[in-house]
Amino acid sequence: MIVVLVIIVAAALHSGATAALADADIGPARAPSAVHIQESNAIAPAWRLPPIRPVTRVNPRLANYFHIDLAEGRVDHKERRLAQWNVVILNHDIVLKEKLSLARMRQTNPRIKLLAWIPLQGPNDGLAKGVPAPGDEDWYARRADGTYLTPHWGGRLMDVCVQSRAWLRHLLRYVRRHCLGAGGYDGLMLDCLWPAEPPGHDANRDGVHDARDTAAWRESMLFLLRRLRAEYPGAILVGNGGLPWPADCPYYEYANGCMHENALGDQFGGTEWRVLWNACRTALSRISNRPAYHLIQADIRADRRTQAVAADQRALTPNDCRRFRLGLATALLVDGGYFGFDRGDCLHGQLWWFDDYDCDLGAPLGASIEGRYGPGTFARDFERGLVVVNPTQTPVWVAHTPDSSGGIGGARASAFTVPPRDARILPAGLRKPAASPGRSSRTGRPEQAAEPAPARLDPRPSAGFLPERSCAQNSGQ
């Protein structure tokens, strides 16, 4: 038995080494790569470094929240690796420090969207110049008793209202000078763009914390968004409030969308799929006059992992892989959905690539369909595949699809099971639209009408898809 296990592990490591050598000009990796074996499950996969090839993938659409300088992110060919994602959020301090070229990223992926990370909560190095020191005339957030507000990541929070919104005017000057000029970023990711003031924050400094502080906070954030939209009408403006903004949040009038951080996680994102789905559809339904970007940022902060444990995690558990599949497939159910997966809050800075990302499903053939494979399930057809999401508590049977060489989640046969609270993605050869399952919509709103039988899938494999080391291997299917 021990000999067999050694052979399996050796074969997996050999497979990882072979894949790593596929790009001839990749040097030795200086970050976690290849396959990581977990003691409790010898076939549990992890991540590898992304490729450096030109990007032609249409779907899935991927986002990388890359704003912290961590050792595992210091790798060779960094620009071409980052370019593999559709949306990349960058800390301009890191771009300057490492002399990263936005132009080289765009050469590898001409359709990439590069967003500058703007920390509304407090200055990074580039924003620190010109910020007053703590004192009577500072810009830091205070409670009603005058004490400073300290976030869980340390430092002090900024007051967006004090001194005629001095902090926000400082941000605007920085953005004009460094971020949104010719050849710069495509837009901004405004971090900590919360729909209300932090708990206890006396935003208007009247010595009382009440509803007037919420109104003052929100109006200050709207001041920032209005100015940005007026000066840069074509810029992508995305905000991160942890959870997506509620339906009545006025920020949607000026923004392209928001981020759902820790999606499907237990830090603050909400473990239930319906939380993710309802927030996704609500956010996308509010964007009507500009391109929509809803960033589903899942991570390994689940199963009561602390930040310290997440920082040192070297393998994915079966539950990590399940949430990975569920988040990735959910993003594919809608137009405007972008998916990312990393270490989580205060640790965003990974170049984690999964074989699942190499699967190009092509363009969607219609909107997502509710109930095709059972009550509560969702499915969507693509030119080169099928996506099935099962958020229910019971397994569902998916039939009437011919053999494929491999799929995300183990969907390999002409019929397969999607376990509870899980998803499957079946890549296939090029397909043509069958009878329309409903007009494609930005929100991917489910169609309730009777659905024709799914179009047959070409059994030829999708080019470049390598099922043997994907998160599929933890499915047990």
Residue 93 lies in a domain: yes
Yes or no: say if 347 and 68 are a contact pair by the CB < 8 Å rule.
Answer: yes
**Token pair for 158:** 């900024």
Domain of residue 38, CATH code: 3.20.20
Backbone phi and psi for residue 172, each to the nearest 5 degrees, phi listed first: -60, -40
Distance, in Å, from the CA atom of 361 to the CA atom of 432, rounded to the nearest integer, reads 13
Instruction: Note whether 171 and 118 are within 8 A (CB).
Output: yes
Place of tokens 């301090």: 93
Q: How many structural domains are present in the chain? A: 1
Q: What is the DSSP string of 189-237?
A: EEET--SSPPTTB-TT-SS--SHHHHHHHHHHHHHHHHHHHHH-TTSEE
Task: Give bridge partners of residue 187 from the DSSP assignment.
Answer: 115, 236
Identify residue 426 by its one-letter amino acid code.
L
- In this prediction the pTM is 0.82
The answer as to whether 43 is a domain residue is: yes
* Cβ burial 86-111 (10 Å sphere, 16+ → b, else e): bbbbbbbbbbeeeebebeebbebbee
423 lies in some domain? no
Asked if 331 and 296 touch (Cβ cutoff 8 Å), the reply is yes
Q: Are strands 396-398 and 385-390 parallel, antiparallel or unpaired?
A: unpaired
Task: State how far the Cα of 56 lies from the Cα of 41, in Å rounded to an integer.
Answer: 34
Q: Within 13 Å, how many C-alpha atoms sit on residue 121's CB side? A: 21
Which amino acid is residue 270, in one-letter code? Answer: G
Max CA pair span of the chain: 72
> Within a domain: residue 226?
yes
Give the residue among 239, 226, 213, 227 at the shortest CA–CA distance from 161: 213
Structural domain includes residue 9: yes
Contact 315, 44 (CB under 8 A): yes
Give the range of the structural domain holding residue 117, as residue numbers without chain letter. 2-358
**Residue 136, CA atoms < 13 Å, CB-side half-sphere:** 0
Q: How far apart are CA 178 and CA 117, in angstroms?
A: 12
Question: Nearest to residue 326, comparing CAs of 418, 416, 240?
Answer: 418
Per-residue pLDDT at 471 = 56
Give pLDDT, residue 201. 92
Tokens of 405: 């060489």
Q: Give the residue among 288, 121, 294 at the shortest CA–CA distance from 221.
A: 121
Q: Which two tokens stand for residue 317?
A: 């558990």
Does a structural domain hold residue 333? yes
Residue 406 lies in a domain: no
Q: Tell me the two tokens of residue 37.
A: 């074996």
* Cα atoms in the 13 Å half-sphere on the side-chain side of 327: 32
474 phi, psi to nearest 5 deg: -90, 0
Q: What is the DSSP code string of 373-400?
A: TSTT-EEEEETTEEEEEE-SSS-EEE-S
Does a structural domain hold residue 183? yes
Helix (H) or strand (E) holding 61: none
pLDDT 10s per residue in the chain (477 long)?
433 333 333 333 333 333 332 332 333 333 333 323 233 333 355 789 999 999 999 999 999 999 999 999 999 999 999 999 999 999 999 999 999 999 999 999 999 999 999 999 998 899 999 999 998 889 999 999 999 988 888 888 999 999 999 999 999 999 999 999 889 999 999 999 999 999 999 988 889 899 999 999 999 999 999 999 999 999 999 999 999 999 999 999 999 999 999 999 999 999 999 999 999 999 999 998 999 999 999 999 999 999 999 999 998 999 999 999 999 999 999 999 999 999 999 999 999 999 899 999 999 999 999 999 999 999 999 999 999 999 999 999 998 555 454 556 655 556 789 999 999 998 886 666 554 333 333 444 333 333 333 333 332 223 322 233 355 544 433
Would strands 187-191 and 113-119 be described as parallel, antiparallel, or unpaired? parallel
Residues 312, 324: Cα–Cα separation, whole Å? 19
> Can you tell me the distance from the alpha carbon of 209 to that of 202, in angstroms, rounded to the nearest whole number?
5
pLDDT at 221: 97
